Amino acid sequence: MKNLALIGIALLISLTGNAQEIKSRMDLRLGIGTSLLGTGDMRTIMFENEVNMKLNSYFSLSGGIGYAKSDYGVFEQASFVQLNANIYISPFKNSRRNDFRIGTGPSWYSISDVYQSSASYKNGQLIDSEYEFDKRSSIGFNLIIENTYLIKEKYLLGLKLFTQPYQNGDINSGILIKWGIKIYNKA
């Protein structure tokens, strides 16, 4: 009876230990960085929120939303919102602390540009200017190279390089530093 009780206690401790070691398949990542909108015409500050789901040791999926704004370039101002869905392959497996992955998937964005359409000067001084507003949307695709490192068992730190060609001829390329956190399921 004593041995049975000890086996039961050992089994309970082992199950509790295993429950705490359940690895999360999902994480939330926040990114900040810069991108070149167009062919380098507008330099933006970009933010991204992304949810990732690990399918197995080689593949994962992500969905994200991004926002960028620029006051520097060929327009007075530009900003865009984008939605991205990607599939990633980790050629060296994504089961260790370091996860190098390559990804692709569809992207949709809506961009707004503001530019000066005319200006009036008197004695070299600007006295009047008119601005025009242009808004467009397009579908494109993502090409991504990303490296992420697992800090402790819960936090992620990564670097993402990307380019996004769109059907309307626009292109967005950049770099983001990403911070993430594992989302644990309650057992």
Residue at 18 is within a domain:
no
The residue-averaged pLDDT of 164-169 equals 94
The residue-averaged pLDDT of 134-159 equals 94
Residue at 159 is within a domain:
yes
Residue 75: domain span: 25-183
* Burial of 30 per CB tally in 10 Å (0-12, 13-18, 19+): middle
Residue at 65 is within a domain:
yes
Residue type, 7: I
Contact 164, 107 (CB under 8 A): yes
Query: Which pLDDT belongs to residue 37?
Result: 86
How far apart are the C-alpha atoms of 175 and 147, rounded to whole Å? Answer: 12
Q: Say what the pTM is.
A: 0.79
Query: Which pLDDT belongs to residue 31?
Result: 96
The total number of structural domains in the chain stands at 1
pLDDT over 90 percentage in the chain: 57
Q: Phi/psi zone of residue 19: left (φ > 0), alpha (ψ -120 to 50 degrees), beta?
A: alpha
pLDDT, tens digit, for every residue of 105-114?
Answer: 999 999 988 8
Examine the pLDDT at 176 and tell me if it is beyond 90.
Answer: yes
Residue at 11 is within a domain:
no
Give the length of the chain. Answer: 187
Confidence category of residue 78, pLDDT binned at 50, 70, 90: confident
Residue at 14 is within a domain:
no
Residue at 122 is within a domain:
yes
Which has more confidence, 74 or 77? 77
Residue at 33 is within a domain:
yes
Buried b (16+ CB within 10 A) or exposed e, 140-169: bebbbebebebeeeeebebebebbbbbeee
Residue at 118 is within a domain:
yes
Confidence category of residue 21, pLDDT binned at 50, 70, 90: very low
Q: What's 76's domain CATH number?
A: 2.40.160.20
